Amino acid sequence: MEKRQLSFWFLAAFFVLFVLFLYGPTITIAILSFQGPQGGLTFPMRGVSFHWFRDLFQEQAVGDIWGAFRRSLLLGLMVMVTTVVVSVMAGLAFRKRFYGSGLLFYVAITSLVIPSILISLGIGLIFNQLGLRVHWATSGFGAQLTWTLPFGLLIMFAVFNRFDKSFEEAARDQGATAWQTIRHVVLPIIAPSLIGVALFGFTLSYDEFARTLLTSGSYNTLPLEVFGMTTNVTSPVIYALGTLTTLFSFAIIGIFLISAWVMGKRRARFGSDAGKGV
Amino acid sequence: MTEVVREVTLPGPVDAPRRKSMGAGLIGWLQAMPLVLVLVFFLLAPIVMIVIVSFWGATEFSIYPDFQLDNYAFLFGSDVTYRVFFATFKYAAITWALTLAIGFTVAYFLAFHVRSQSMQIALFLLCTIPFWTSNIIRMISWIPFLGRNGIANSTLIEWGLIEQPLEWLLYSDFSVILAFVHLYTLFMVVPIFNTTMRIDPVLLEAARDNGASGFQSLVHVILPLTKPGIMIGTIFVVTLVMGDFITVRFMSGSQRANVGRLISNDISLLQYPSAAATAVILLITVLMVIGILLRFVNIRKEL
């Protein structure tokens, strides 16, 4: 192994600064959320307390954040499940050329790059003209899918680009039907990547703002509620909320990453079950 | 459009174009159908609706079907439009340059200077985790840093570098771009890292054996090979910044404008036809930029 060059230390320092830049502000508000009751939005700390966290749990102090949290959680789960199912199906479809596949791919890319406010505005207008009420579970749900599905699809492309087709051929040669091949060969192999798709589906929905703005109706999701707070709440209670929801996100990410890791481990331990089926 | 479609090269298997292709095509369609339905109802229909409404008229309280070009005439006749579009491109260009420089450096470090693979994955995850947390919260968390009495100002005063707090740290172009860079650099890091990881180390060895300096192999070997990753990152960053309205509004304290804010202002005034016309022009602009960028990269092959 060669000796570290000067450039390594320079780049390592750059990397550390970058990570500080990424996490520094979040850590700062986490510290500031423990401000004493008289504390303000910035340092110095005037005592240390759970005052602002307590405020969060008293409904009258800050609007309906728990209702918003429940809605965001439920919507996130709905979007997650839909994203996984639809992306896997579309990913399977795209392995072969079908009529219009090129066009569909470009439409999916458009869905990714289109300014979010257009989705919000367009869906809002359609519901409005049809006389339907916008609601987070209908229009909001659809609006978020236009953001999560392209990510899911791109992940599925990445997965199937690396997929070894000989497993499938082997299954087919042994007489498995198309469905059996997918169910018992393809899906188990791609399962860890599906955790990734689920992670994207849930977190992108849970934090989505712009596309939900005009499509969620009278009940806010959590990001909308938080944004509403920025205009009328000027106390560290907003930091407390930010800290809690960030911790929640970290926990979710942790669960997903750990389950992907465990799955990989188990697979490495048990290895291939080839030849044990008979 | 047809021209674009023709260029798509699908990596699908070439071994099965025979008798089964009819059935396989049908199955493919059925598998893609849920995606098609979502995109038709929640992407294409809204776009069509926006185009239609952009020709409608509006009173103070309601909108009515019509076919008039007033919304576009007003849009193109107003100085504000050009200024705001210019500001949008300015934000996109500056953010692009900064995220590219930072993102490339980080990805380069991870790919070529971190030696163990598990360390690489750990550090890579460290860079991507913020992507899965709330953008709004990440914006809010700049306030204690940049405010008049914030950490930045008090530190600079303490060090004796400035006498008065700097006013331009928060609610300015500076804070807007800082937030963009903060939010979107990972969109550069991820695809660039992805392409650098696929560079065969043999190529770098060959460059070294032929007497290339580290800098020369960076410029002549690594950079050209990471171009697809750079392009994908560019597509993400440019479209996210051009379509943004919330970062500009929040980080500038409503003192700066881009096209997205123009649209959202019209929406809050219930001037939907005018918002729709602006949205149509913004969409065309973004799609043109993406159309150009897609000429340099085949996204599907690069994933």
Residues B1-17 have pLDDT tens digits of: 333 444 444 444 444 44
Q: How far apart are CA B33 and CA A90, in angstroms?
A: 8
Testing the interface with A: which of B116, B136, B264 to mutate, by most A Cβ within 10 A?
B136
Query: Among residues of chain B, what percentage have pLDDT more than 90?
Result: 42
Question: Among A244, A229, A228, A245, which residue's Cα sits nearest to residue A41?
Answer: A229
Question: Among B27, B12, B297, B232, which residue's Cα sits nearest to residue A160?
Answer: B12
| CB < 8 Å to A105, chain B | 8, 300
Beta carbons of B141 and A90 less than 8 Å apart: no
Beta carbons of B149 and A42 less than 8 Å apart: yes
Give yes or no for a cis peptide into B130 (omega within 30° of 0).
no
Amino acid type, B3: E
* Residues 61-90 of chain B whose Cβ lies under 8 A from any Cβ of chain A: none
pLDDT, chain B, mean: 86
Question: Among B124, B104, B106, which residue's Cα sits nearest to residue B231?
Answer: B104
The CATH H-level (homologous superfamily) assignment of domain B47-302 is: MetI-like (1.10.3720.10)
Whether A214 and chain B come into contact, CB under 8 Å, resolves to: yes
Full pLDDT tens readout for chain A, 278 residues: 456 778 889 999 999 999 999 999 899 888 888 888 877 777 777 778 887 888 887 765 566 788 889 999 999 999 999 999 999 999 999 988 888 888 999 999 999 999 999 999 999 999 988 988 889 889 999 999 999 999 999 999 988 888 888 888 898 888 888 888 888 888 888 888 899 899 999 999 999 988 998 888 888 889 988 888 887 777 788 888 889 989 999 999 999 989 888 887 887 777 655 545 44
Per the DSSP assignment, residues forming a β-bridge with B63 are B58
Nearest CA in chain A to B242: A115
Beta carbons of B140 and A146 less than 8 Å apart: no
b/e sequence A91-110, b meaning 16+ C-beta within 10 Å = bbbbbbbbeebbebbbbbbb
| CB < 8 Å to B127, chain A | 18-19, 22
Q: Give yes or no for a contact between A78 and A143, defined as CB atoms under 8 angstroms apart.
A: no
Q: What domains, with CATH codes, occur in chain A?
A: 63-232 (1.10.3720.10)
Cβ contacts of B16 within 8 Å, gap of 6 or more: A96, B24
Q: What is the pLDDT of residues B147-201, one digit of tens each?
A: 888 888 888 888 888 888 888 888 889 999 999 999 999 999 999 998 988 888 8
Residue ranges per domain, chain B? 47-302
Whether A223 and chain B come into contact, CB under 8 Å, resolves to: yes
Distance from CA of A134 to the nearest CA of B (A): 13
Cβ contacts of B231 within 8 Å, gap of 6 or more: B293, B296, B297
Question: Among B179, B180, B176, B183, which residue's Cα sits nearest to residue B252?
Answer: B176
Nearest CA in chain B to A257: B125
pLDDT at B47 over 90: yes
Task: Count other C-beta atoms under 10 Å from residue B147's C-beta.
Answer: 20
Distance from CA of B45 to the nearest CA of A (A): 8
Residue length, chain A?
278
3-state class (DSSP) for residue B57? strand
Beta carbons of A19 and B8 less than 8 Å apart: no
The residue among B21 and A45 whose pLDDT is bigger is: A45
Whether A188 and chain B come into contact, CB under 8 Å, resolves to: no
Whether A117 and chain B come into contact, CB under 8 Å, resolves to: yes
Q: Give yes or no for a contact between A112 and B294, defined as CB atoms under 8 angstroms apart.
A: no
pLDDT band at B273 (very low <50, low <70, confident <90, very high): very high
Whether B217 and chain A come into contact, CB under 8 Å, resolves to: no
Q: What is the pLDDT of residues B214-229, one digit of tens each?
A: 788 888 888 888 998 9
Testing the interface with A: which of B3, B26, B42 to mutate, by most A Cβ within 10 A?
B42
Q: Give yes or no for a contact between B201 and B271, defined as CB atoms under 8 angstroms apart.
A: no
